[in-house]
Chains A and B, each alone.
Chain A
Amino acid sequence: MHEMSVALALVDQVAEAARADGRERALAVHVQIGELAGVVGDALDFAFELAREGTPLEGARLVVETVPARARCRDCAGEFAVGAPPDLTCRGCGGTNVELLSGRELRITAVEWADGPAYAASAGQKG
């Protein structure tokens, strides 16, 4: 249940951003969680509900975007979905000289503030 630690880090960072920017309240926090990040979205959601109490995030939604894990083979240049359970061997040539392109994300991508003038275009990403 390290999702609680992650949720507290999340609330902490957004509250800090609120202070720095003179914001009073967040309406929503958008996060990206890679398939291989080792964090469970539902558990994070549950933890977030507890962690946000008494902070500028109270009542805020958590919008989780799951990022699929993808890898690229350095030998044949093929790209493939790592899948679950993960398999980092190249689907094309069977090689293991691969690099991970995505799937380890664990980050806040955007915050919707209650008192802003307009809804910015970057809100387009959703999970």
Chain B
Amino acid sequence: MCRTHELRLALLARNDGSATELREELAARGTVVVNLLSSPGSGKTALLEAELTRARERGLAVAALTADLATENDATRLARSGVPVKQVLTDGLCHLEASMLRGQLDGWLPDGTRLVFVENVGNLVCPASYDLGERLRVALMSVTEGEDKPLKYPTAFGLANLVVVTKADLAAAAEFDEAAFLLNVRRVNPGVEVLFTSARKGQGVGELLDRAVAVAEGAEPHRPVMADEPVQHTGCTDAHGDEHDDGQGHGHSRDHGHGHGHSHDHTHDRGDGHRHSHGRTNGREHGQETDPVAAPSRPRPNLAVGELS
């Protein structure tokens, strides 16, 4: 004997709620978060260092937060730009969550900061599902990673407001097929802008910063088709009433405030499901004890998943 209750709870509602709250709070302070997603080794840190240096030259108040499973090497590199930088060690967790970012920014983010660049954990799978409260989400990949990467990681590229190609100076050596790549990007995220950059040669350096500044000044970022979420209501449709709607907020994962009332006419046959596999990130190596930049903190995600993820 049992009873079924319909629930309609968005699984990531808590994170989405925290993200929305953080986005609003930061907006009130005049700050915009830029969330950078890429695979390890894509050249994200090198590009970011160049962008931060450029920002400093222009007298822009920017800051950066870099997340890694372990080591403070990236923060050390980014700190050379002279802007405030903080290392976050996730202790093996494969992604950042909005509440973790908030914990990191609290008491650290200097007043008047216009842009905060968040270098997410090097991983194109998990971070894609977590809204951090950013206004601009950027998916980066280098020309050495293959033209089909956007198809392999459709959530990361499909939800990006901007796509950045790095190491463009190696395109010829890597036999990078730019036309095929652009077609693949278009398939998962029609209309998204693609920037080609090379931190080493200086190509395109400053463009990412320009786009971020534009958003901070009120420009509306590109809205990906995939962000068109078909209703993810939180809250219940049954007698539970409001009790499950306790501030976990609205199922939208981005702040575009879309409220389409699509009917759910999808068929319920099991799709053959596309599966993007990814390795488990069980690493729990701790960073070294030296402290070259702001003391790294080890955030506890609100779900205490550090050991398990």
Q: Identify the A interface with B (CB < 8 A).
A: 1-2, 4-6, 8-10, 12-14, 16-17, 20-21, 27, 30-31, 35-42, 47, 50, 65-71, 84-89, 96-120, 122-123, 125, 127
Contact = CB atoms under 8 A, between A and B. Distances in A.
Given A35-B273, A68-B271, A88-B189, A113 B11 contact: no
Interface residues on B, range: 35 or more
Given A5-B309, A67-B271, A119 B4 contact: yes
B58 interface: no
Q: State the main secondary structure of chain A at its contact with B.
A: mixed
Interface string B204-242: 000000000000000000000110111010001001100
B281 interface: yes
Given A89-B190, A118-B1, A104 B267 contact: no
Given A36-B158, A88-B188, A98-B225, A4 B308 contact: yes
Contacts of A30: 4
Contact of B303 (A9, A50, A86, A120): A9
Given A2-B309, A85-B274, A108-B11, A116 B2 contact: yes
A35 B271 contact: yes
Contacts of A47: 308
Nearest to A122: B6
Given A12-B303, A50-B308, A89-B186, A1 B1 contact: no
B26 interface: no
A102 B154 contact: no
